[in-house]
Structure 1
Amino acid sequence: MRLRRTGDMLLAAGILVFVAAVVTLVWTGHTALRYSADNDNTLSLWAICLTVLGGLAVARLVPPKPDDGLLPGDPRTTRQAWWLFTLGLVFAVGFYLSPGGDLWFLGLKLALLLAVPLSFRLVSWREWYRVDTRGRWLRPLPAMLVFLTLFTLFGHSYTGARPDLIALIAVFTLNAMLEEIFYRVWLQTRLEKSYGRWPAIALSSLVFAVWHVTIHGGNGFGIDLAAAVVHIGGYGIFLGYLWSRYRNPWLLFVVHGIINAPIPMLAALW
């Protein structure tokens, strides 16, 4: 009961953060959110919200596979969750304060999101690739299709040079796969066991969003933080709900991979 009360407080705090981020962007007139610091293309705040809400609504209409309940968390699980949450925050702060560059980013990510959790036995690598996905492929597809359709229609275009296949594979592995394993399969699952679905989704989405402050924005820390919370945190909410409801990590990889490399970019390979 105590953990559930804490979960309610965490959920309320998470909702407050998301609402404050939206209000900040609207109040300051920053409703066109940049793709990233090195890309001047923008996305409408409302398009992002509609994309996320559309995916959530369809996922809510399609029931999950039965017998998908979680056993209550024990003190060890709760400690693991908060250690993982702390590592996520350290990664965000470390990346923000680092001198920059791909090597720093890669080193911090591999160390804090992979090596440390495994070395200190906070997690097990088997947690994601031994997930039973039987009966969990067709049910999530309507929500995925709605989300990705809205994602593509609302301006997630690609206007750059022909992408490099090797680079796309590297980005998919180090970003889509590693981030979904850490933030959803490892962190969110433990938070769910302790505090329930929505507090876990809110917390994991926020810590997932904050490290993007460095690469999404260019309007000052406060606005960039609000933009990352709404933009990346919103996508994190959809991905978190997809994981909580259907427990299929492979579908998370696909959606996250397309977010990182939109469909027009993938089409440019051909």
Structure 2
Amino acid sequence: MDSYFPKAGKLIGGIIILLILLSSLWLIWIGETNIRYSGDHTGTLPFWNKWIPVIVGILLVRFLPSHHKNYNPLQQFELRRIIIQTVILFSSGSLFTICLLTTNFEGMTLQLWFMIFKIILLLFTPFMLLLFYKSNPEKERQKPVKSTGGNRWYRFTPLIVIIVWGYFNFFSTFSTPFVSARMEPTILILILLVGFLINSVLEELFYRVWLQTRLELLLGTWPAILLTSLLWASWHIALHGSGHWDIDTATVIVNHGIVGLFLGYLWARYRKVWVIIIVHGLINAHPQQLIEIIFK
């Protein structure tokens, strides 16, 4: 699938790759290779431990047979409409990051404003934008996913990817350490459910389904994945930051910026919303936490 602005895409993609490499080298140079991997506690791990599961996952997505490929559900839309929607969505995502970085709140107050900003900028704004363009439903109707083969087992390849990635990310030498929440199961379930909806579901809809899909048409697949991943990573500075802007910026780039590549490639390759929502949900809620709730 060709993009409208491939040269701009290559330039943007190259800059972001360089930024990732420089961020990694900077953290190694200053000896800050142990990074926070959660906003819920201060636990750390070497940043390359986050890279290994992502690399394994991306390789699996690349080489396992896909049910369909080179498919974009918006490819029949006119260029002007795609550009306008992309600019508005990207601006909304950027404003979300700016709002979080410029607030002076902490603790529960920050969490409250975090939810308010997210609902307004990542849900309400895109909803109004898409609702506005529904005035011409025939032209806006998305194309169904086209299969590239008759092998039914292709549809199970995302599950294979999730299982293998999940092993490396949670149960291998490179796994993310599990920290028990130590609270009442009912309260924990409620927190996880709200977090799943406001974080996993909403973020994947906004960053991958709405924004990345449009950026792919304009810049190309990997430049769109890289740019979306960087934008998604940027707001985590506010929640994971330590007060040192250089370390905080480099940390989210080598952590969430890399994880975002896996999420973005999953979406670009499979176009199945449930896949990226499950992966994002597992990232936010360690499987052992779910096991702890069930058997507690």
**TM-score of the superposition, structure 1-length normalised?**
0.91
**Match of residue 82 from structure 2:** 77
> Deviation per CA, 1:85-115, whole angstroms, max 9, x where unpaired?
1211110110111233222111100000011
Work out whether residues 36 and 216 of structure 1, in 8 Å CA contact, stay in contact via their aligned partners in 2.
yes
Q: Report 1:105-124 matches (<5 A).
A: 105-121=114-130
**Match of residue 25 from structure 2:** 23
**Match of residue 276 from structure 2:** 252
Q: In 1, distance between residues paired with 2:179 and 2:143?
A: 35
Q: Report 1:216-231 matches (<5 A).
A: 216-218=240-242, 220-231=244-255
> Deviation per CA, 1:34-70, whole angstroms, max 9, x where unpaired?
1245522112111111111111111111122236423
Q: In 1, distance between residues paired with 2:132 and 2:71?
A: 20
2:35 to 11, 19, 33: 33
Flag the 1:9–1:37 CA change in 2: closer, same or farther, 3 A: same
Q: 1:2 deviation in Å?
A: 6.2
> Deviation per CA, 1:198-219, whole angstroms, max 9, x where unpaired?
0000000000000000112415
3-state SS of the aligned residue for 1:138? Answer: helix
Flag the 1:67–1:236 CA change in 2: closer, same or farther, 3 A: closer
Gaps of 5+ in 2: none
Is 2:172 the counterpart of 1:172? no
Q: In 2, distance between residues paired with 1:124 and 1:24?
A: 44
Work out whether residues 117 and 123 of structure 1, in 8 Å CA contact, stay in contact via their aligned partners in 2.
no
**Match of residue 157 from structure 1:** 178
Q: 1:122 deviation in Å?
A: 7.7
Could you tell me which amino acid in structure 2 is paired with residue 90 of structure 1?
A: L
Work out whether residues 68 and 270 of structure 2, in 8 Å CA contact, stay in contact via their aligned partners in 1.
no
Percent identical pairs in the alignment equals 34
Work out whether residues 72 and 193 of structure 1, in 8 Å CA contact, stay in contact via their aligned partners in 2.
no
Q: 1:130 deviation in Å?
A: 9.8
Is 2:69 the counterpart of 1:64? no
> Deviation per CA, 1:1-54, whole angstroms, max 9, x where unpaired?
761111111111111111121111111111111124552211211111111111
**TM-score of the superposition, structure 2-length normalised?**
0.83
Which one is further off, 111-120 or 235-244?
A: 111-120
> Deviation per CA, 1:103-158, whole angstroms, max 9, x where unpaired?
2111100000011122233887999x997598674121222122111110323312
Flag the 1:131–1:168 CA change in 2: closer, same or farther, 3 A: farther
Flag the 1:137–1:99 CA change in 2: closer, same or farther, 3 A: farther
Q: In 2, distance between residues paired with 1:190 and 1:92?
A: 20
Flag the 1:139–1:213 CA change in 2: closer, same or farther, 3 A: same
Q: Which has the larger radius of gyration?
A: 2
Flag the 1:139–1:123 CA change in 2: closer, same or farther, 3 A: farther
C-alpha RMSD over aligned residues: 2.6
